[in-house]
Structure formats: C-alpha cells, structure tokens
Amino acid sequence: MKRNFIFACMALVAGMTWANDSSYEVIGNQLVPLKETGIRITKEILTIELRENNTAFVDVQYEFTNPTKEAKTVLMGFEADPPYDGSYEPDNLVKDVRHPFIKDFKVEINGTKINYKNALSKVGNFRPLRPTKNWTSENGTFFDMKTGQEIADVAHVYYFNATFEPGVNKVHHTYSYGMGNSTTFIYFLDYKLTPAIRWANKQIDDFTLNISCKKTIKHFYIGAECLPGMKPVVASGKGKVRKTANEYQQEGYVWEVALRNGSVKFHTKNFRPKHELWLRSGFICDPLGTYNKGGYLCGLSGGDLTDLQIRAIRNIPYAARGHVFKDPELKEFFESCFWYMPDPNYKDDTSDFTASDWEYVNFKDEDDKE
C-alpha cells in the first residue's frame, strides 16, 4: 500500500544527553572529572518511566562498595549535556547552571537526603575549566568570550559530597525531565553509560535497566550495541520485544519494544559499557506503522491513501488499546503491525483518549476536505 507523508509542522528539536555519576576534584572553584581508584560500583538499577507529553521520570539506585576499613568522602557529580535546540537565551544558560529540562533532582546516601550544588564542567577529560563568567553560548554551543574559541563537551553538573562507609553504601537519586523531540521522532532520550568506567572496578558488577510505561502506551527502539549480551524481557503489563533492522545512526540491529501499561527489563553482570544508551520513538509521520499515546498525528498528503488506510488511521487509538477487530481487512492490517496487542476485555473505553487520539478518529484525507 502506497503511503505519502508530509510534515504538518516543524517540531522543536530539544535534545540532551544524560550521564551516569562520576567522581570529581575541586581545584579552586572548578570541577575536574577524576578516575576513582578505591570505590567500586557493585550494583546499578536504572529505571526510566516514559510518560505522556514527552516527559520521563528517572530513578537511579546504586550500591557502591568501600573495601577499606575507614570512611571515605568522594565528590560525586551527575552530568547532563546542555540543550542544543537554540531556543534558550545564551546568558541564561551561563548564569543559571541548572539544566533547563531537569526538574526535582533529589539524592540520598544511605537513606539520608543530601544537598547538592550546580556547576558547568568539562566531561571526559581531566583539565580544569575557565570560570563560568568567561563563557557564552549560542545554539547550545559554548564559547570562550575572550578568544571566541568553542568549548566542547560542556555539561551541567549536579554535585555533592558522598561519604562511603566501609562496606556497601547506597546512593539513590531521582529526577524528571522533558524528553527531546524532532520532526522525525515523537520523543527521544540519550543516557551516558560510559562514566561508570571512571570508578575503581571500571565496570558495573550488576546492572539492570527497567523501562516502564504506567497507564500509557509506547512504541520505541533501543540501540542493541549499547547493551551487549542483554536480551530484554517483558517484566509487567502487556508488551512485545523483537530484534529488528536498524534505521538509525548506529550499525547492527535494534530492539523494538511495544508496551501497554507495562515494563521491559535488561540485566547483565560485569557490564563494561562502551557505548551510550539511546532510545527513540517510532517515526512521527508514520501513523500507519507506529503509535505512542500522547504523540500527535502528523499531516498526510492527499490523493493516494486507500479507503483501508483511512479506516485504519481512524481506528489506530482503539487498536493500540487492544480492540479486537471483526472486519477482516482491519483485522489483517493491524495484525501486521508489531505494536498491536489484542485484548478481548477491552470495551472501547475512550475516557483516556488524548487530543491527538481524537485527531486519528476524526481523520480526513485531504481529498475528503475539499
């Protein structure tokens, strides 16, 4: 079936890259990333809850091991790359060093709430930075105000002192953020895994990634090379997982995941990350091939959509919730969609339909509008 899609609007590109936690040193008033030679990452449970309206909630639970008999205090920093969409005033990015998309950042160590500070810092090397007052920014790129030279690899850092008692210590932090979106994807997120190798054991001894979708429906892809040797399993709710051809920027295959009020789990031991985690929604202008609750229906060019395609578009919100089709053409069509998971108990309840769902239901081809 021939499909011809056009963009109904240009979505804001608002991307950021999320980072794991690392150890730091303070030189004067500057933060310098370090390799910690004593403290080990014994365990990490990373949970990402995908919510509607391009938001997500992140919960990170660590177990660090201090092998010595004495307490050790380490300056820890959570890193997040700055936005690069050009919609933020340069002065604001420099003056307010908090990340504009991260909200409600909280951290606890061994059950005690810890105060944190914010700064801008280099990542991935061990050189000190110039003072913040000598920076400026344009379209998310930082420059030295005196020389005009670009300052690469700048990160917003949430930093705090972590006192590790002898033995196992638990570090827990949470935050919410607005995910990136573009003219290609309804949402996307990136999370840096490689800072884990800055700790003493240069790996995460026991690593778990949970991606959940509570009371919503999501269809997305995850780079398989980011999580080598890990086979995802549906841990709760209704879900499907498969390997599929890679249509993104990396080589190899990807994991394709469809969830309805459920979660998927990745797990491995002795994880030494070499790549950063990336997750992408289905294509924004492919309403016949993908669905994400809360995502909007993109415009379709007229004249070459078949009657079946038009009927399918109007029924997508029902199909995504599990409607069992009696119409043989619609039944065959949706059974060919990976994300379709029929539910005989679904009663065509529209109480949770979003504005975009009603756009699907009321869809008219351009020829119909004339």
What does residue 359 show for φ and ψ, rounded to 5 degrees? -65, -40
Distances (CA, A) of 155 to 34, 73, 111: 15, 23, 27
Q: Please tell me the predicted confidence (pLDDT) of residue 45.
A: 97
> Whats the size of the chain, residue-wise?
370
d(CA 155, CA 141): 11
**Per-residue tens of pLDDT for the chain, all 370 residues:** 333 332 233 233 334 445 578 887 776 666 667 788 899 999 999 999 999 878 899 999 999 999 999 999 999 988 877 765 554 454 555 566 788 888 999 999 999 999 998 887 765 544 444 434 555 666 656 666 667 766 666 778 888 999 999 999 999 999 998 887 776 788 888 888 888 888 999 999 999 999 999 999 999 999 898 999 999 999 999 999 999 876 654 557 899 999 999 999 999 999 999 988 989 888 766 778 888 888 877 766 555 788 999 999 999 999 999 999 999 999 999 999 999 999 999 999 999 999 989 999 998 876 554 4
Q: Please tell me the predicted confidence (pLDDT) of residue 10.
A: 28
Q: Please tell me the predicted confidence (pLDDT) of residue 195.
A: 85
Our measurement of the distance from residue 57's CA atom to the centroid of its chain's CA atoms, rounded to an integer in Å, reads: 9
Contact 129, 122 (CB under 8 A): yes
Residue 110 Rama label (left phi>0; alpha psi -120 to 50; beta):
left
Q: Please tell me the predicted confidence (pLDDT) of residue 245.
A: 79
d(CA 150, CA 189): 25
The token duo for 283 is 């294509």
Q: Please tell me the predicted confidence (pLDDT) of residue 28.
A: 61
Contact 125, 33 (CB under 8 A): yes
- Listing DSSP states for 174-230 in one string gives EEEEEPB--SSBS-EEEEE-GGGGGSTTSSEEEEEEEEEEEEEEEEEEEEGGGSTT-
Q: Which amino acid is at 311?
A: R
d(CA 71, CA 289): 55
**Residue 357: in which H helix or E strand, if any?**
helix 355-361
Give 18's strand partners: 80, 191
Q: Please tell me the predicted confidence (pLDDT) of residue 15.
A: 43
DSSP symbol at 12: -
**Exposure of 3 by Cβ count < 10 A (0-12 exposed, 13-18 middle, 19+ buried)?**
middle
- Angle subtended at Cα 333 by Cα 350 and Cα 355, rounded to the nearest 5 degrees: 30
Residue with tokens 């790359």: 81
Residue with tokens 């950021």: 16
Residue with tokens 């002898």: 166
d(CA 184, CA 207): 31
**Helices first, then strands: H and E counts in the chain:** 5, 18
| Dihedral over Cα of 69, 73, 74, 78: its sign | positive
**Exposure of 321 by Cβ count < 10 A (0-12 exposed, 13-18 middle, 19+ buried)?**
buried
Our measurement of the distance from residue 36's CA atom to the centroid of its chain's CA atoms, rounded to an integer in Å, reads: 27
**Exposure of 106 by Cβ count < 10 A (0-12 exposed, 13-18 middle, 19+ buried)?**
exposed
Residues 6+ positions from 299 with CB-CB distance below 8 Å: 5, 6, 7, 8, 9, 285
The token duo for 54 is 């391009």
Q: At what angle do helices 307-320 and 328-335 cross, to 10 degrees?
A: 60
Give the three-state DSSP class for 369.
helix
**Residue 269: in which H helix or E strand, if any?**
strand 253-271
